[in-house]
Amino acid sequence: MSSRNLTFSVGGVHMDEHKTLTEHIPIEKMPAPDVVYIPMSQHIGAPCNPTVAVGDTVKVGQIVGNSEAYISAAVHSSVSGSVKAIEKMYTADGRYCDCVVIENDKKDDAVEANALLNYKDVSMDEIIAFVKEKGIVGMGGAGFPLHAKLKGDDPVLDQCIINGAECEPFLTCDHRIMLEKTEEILEGLEIFAEFYNKEVSYMAIEENKPDAISKMEDVISENPKWSNLKVVGCQTKYPQGDSKRLAEAVLGRIVPQNGVTNDVGVFLTNVGTTLAFYEAIIEGRPSYERVITVSGSGISEPKNILVKIGTSVGDILDFCGGVKEEFVEIVCGGPMTGKSVFELTSPITKTTSGLLVFTKEEVNPGKESPCIRCSKCVDNCPANINPTDINAAILKDNVEICDELHADQCMECGICTFVCPAKRNLTASVKLAKREIRSRVKK
């Protein structure tokens, strides 16, 4: 099997990457803010319930929210201090949920670290409980709790891929951690390899990050214990980092409709999640901070920063020199799948990969005009559906036709809107169609 220029077969698009603003900027640690707002919903699945009350004193790494539900993960305080309030707020990515508001006492008192260094000697059920308690969720954007992916016997998981594609324009946080935390990530991959495939497990990186590919390959070649790990280069093509596209690109395994990579025997997780997993298992640290990219032509000092979960968007932008006068929009996440931020007090979560501040240089919505039947949206759709026909159907409120056109298979990648010369709001309308189909199924 070739280990370069790997890609998926249907749709996708080559676009300007806009990564030069931050790709060479080392990660800087942002000082902890005076107040953090810890959201109880930071993942796919059941939100947590607060486990602390107003007036309680908390430590760094202490659980402040938890849930009995299997598809959920604990949340922890990212500072030490006292609980001032528990109130409903919007997170940076637009979830409306309870947040535990903690005033930082700046003492940095932390709970005692408990690692799982003997992970080879314990059962998978014990590892799953440990990972759930450490609050590790997919940090590439989706936020699927990691422990729910780990079970490897039904179906049997026999392949393992770490996703270092980072295909969204502007974002460079995964790129930087691959350069600056190479050994830790490979150690994390080695633990996964121990579970799923001891012969060969993969580190997949888009080829627009040649320094990360070289660094990973160099470190592997210097460490015989990692001879089972293989770096593969993927074509720079959006959405290469989508888990289903990556499983196809690297292994040729096609995930069925409504399926996940586990269904085809592939354990696949993001590179930031792998780092968080390593920090939990080897260092005993829960998931309470992460690296994000702050970029765009509207921010004064673009950076990659290590930031406490629960820090407000406003505090982060201030740390990056503030926004420029001509900014028009702040986006949480990448420009293709991110959400507009509408409150500067909104906190970041475990799934926040970046904050992008755009001026008119990047935001040019144009005016919607009639479809010219160019078929670009159809040709480039990685889900192999017909966005323009779905758009026409949902505008007539014809959900049955949307269902027949498989609108529910949309992965919300944003390509159809991006390529449409008529500036039609295709992604938003397909998302609406998908929601309508699902809500009618529930009734």
Q: Which stretch binds ligand SF4 (CB under 6 A): 39-47, 110-118, 123-131, 424-432?
A: 424-432
Q: How far is it, in rounded angstroms, from Cα 60 to Cα 79?
A: 5
- In the chain, the amino acid numbered 355 is L
Task: Specify the residue, 194 or 389, whose C-beta has the smaller distance to ligand SF4.
Answer: 389
In the complex, the smallest distance separating the C-beta of residue 383 from ligand SF4, rounded to whole angstroms, is 4
CB count, 10 Å around CB of 118? 8
255 in contact with ligand SF4 (CB under 6 A): no
In the complex, the smallest distance separating the C-beta of residue 422 from ligand SF4, rounded to whole angstroms, is 4
Name the residue among 390, 162, 354, 139 with its Cα closest to residue 266. 162
Task: Specify the residue, 159 or 261, whose C-beta has the smaller distance to ligand SF4.
Answer: 261
Token pair listed for 65: 């929210």
In the complex, the smallest distance separating the C-beta of residue 434 from ligand SF4, rounded to whole angstroms, is 8
Binding mask 134-163 for ligand SF4 (x = CB under 6 A): ------------------------------
Among 73, 383, 393, 432, binds ligand SF4 (CB under 6 A): 383
For the chain, state the CA radius of gyration: 21
Q: How far is it, in rounded angstroms, from Cα 1 to Cα 250?
A: 9
Q: Which stretch binds ligand SF4 (CB under 6 A): 27-35, 309-317, 393-401, 426-434?
A: 426-434
Asked if 277 contacts 119 with a C-beta cutoff of 8 angstroms, the reply is no
240 in contact with ligand SF4 (CB under 6 A): no
376 in contact with ligand SF4 (CB under 6 A): yes
Beta strands in 271-372 (DSSP E): 289-295, 303-308, 329-332, 339-340, 354-358
Q: How far is it, in rounded angstroms, from Cα 166 to Cα 353?
A: 10
423: left (phi over 0), alpha (psi -120 to 50) or beta: left
Could you tell me the CA-to-CA distances from 145 to 70, 199, 287, 358 in Å, in that order?
9, 26, 12, 31
Task: Specify the residue, 73 or 377, whose C-beta has the smaller distance to ligand SF4.
Answer: 377
Site for ligand SF4 in 396-415 (CB under 6 A): 410-415
CB count, 10 Å around CB of 107? 11
Among 120, 373, 442, 443, binds ligand SF4 (CB under 6 A): 373
The count of residues interacting with ligand SF4 (CB under 6 A) is 28
- Burial of residue 120 (CB within 10 Å: 0-12, 13-18, 19+) is exposed
381 in contact with ligand SF4 (CB under 6 A): yes
212 in contact with ligand SF4 (CB under 6 A): no
Q: Which stretch binds ligand SF4 (CB under 6 A): 44-52, 136-144, 209-217, 382-390?
A: 382-390
Name the residue among 76, 63, 72, 58 with its Cα closest to residue 287. 76
Q: How far is it, in rounded angstroms, from Cα 73 to Cα 136?
A: 7
In the complex, the smallest distance separating the C-beta of residue 418 from ligand SF4, rounded to whole angstroms, is 8
| Preceding omega of 239 cis (within 30 degrees of 0) | yes
Residues paired with residue 259 on neighbouring β-strands, in sequence order: none
In the complex, the smallest distance separating the C-beta of residue 372 from ligand SF4, rounded to whole angstroms, is 5
In the complex, the smallest distance separating the C-beta of residue 414 from ligand SF4, rounded to whole angstroms, is 5
Q: Which stretch binds ligand SF4 (CB under 6 A): 174-182, 261-269, 352-360, 376-384?
A: 376-384
Footprint on this chain of ligand SF4 (rule: CB under 6 A): 371-377, 381-383, 385, 387-388, 410-416, 419-422, 424, 426-427, 430
